[in-house]
Amino acid sequence: MSGNSRQSQIGGGDARDLTPGRILVAFEKLFGGGRGVQRSARSGLRYVQLAGGVLLVEQNPKKKSEWGELARAGRRVAWVMREGEYLARVVDGEVVMLDK
């Protein structure tokens, strides 16, 4: 997943500035088709870059998990990640910050 420019990132600063409000802005962009939504070449999943190398990635509906099942059922599920670490989960606009 490549970074285009600062303009394509949501929020200023770095990952410490990550708030549920900023995550929700990116979530609405991700599922609303706003500017800055990119697609992974490998998986084809959509994602939005946030500050500090953080990504908001849609749930892969092909996964055999409860989250994949929700996505297949039409729910909007996404994950906030940095370097493979899950920071938060968003389901239909409800942000849950995960313990580190």
Of the candidates 89, 85, 87, the one whose C-alpha atom is nearest the C-alpha of residue 75 is 89
Domain total in the chain: 1
pLDDT in tens, 79-89: 999 999 999 99
Geometric angle at alpha carbon 33, from 88 and 12, rounded to 5° = 50
Domain-located, residue 35:
yes
pTM: 0.83
SS3 2: coil
**Domain that residue 67 falls in:** 6-97
pLDDT in tens, 44-100: 999 999 999 999 999 999 999 999 999 999 999 999 999 999 999 999 999 999 986
Domain-located, residue 1:
no
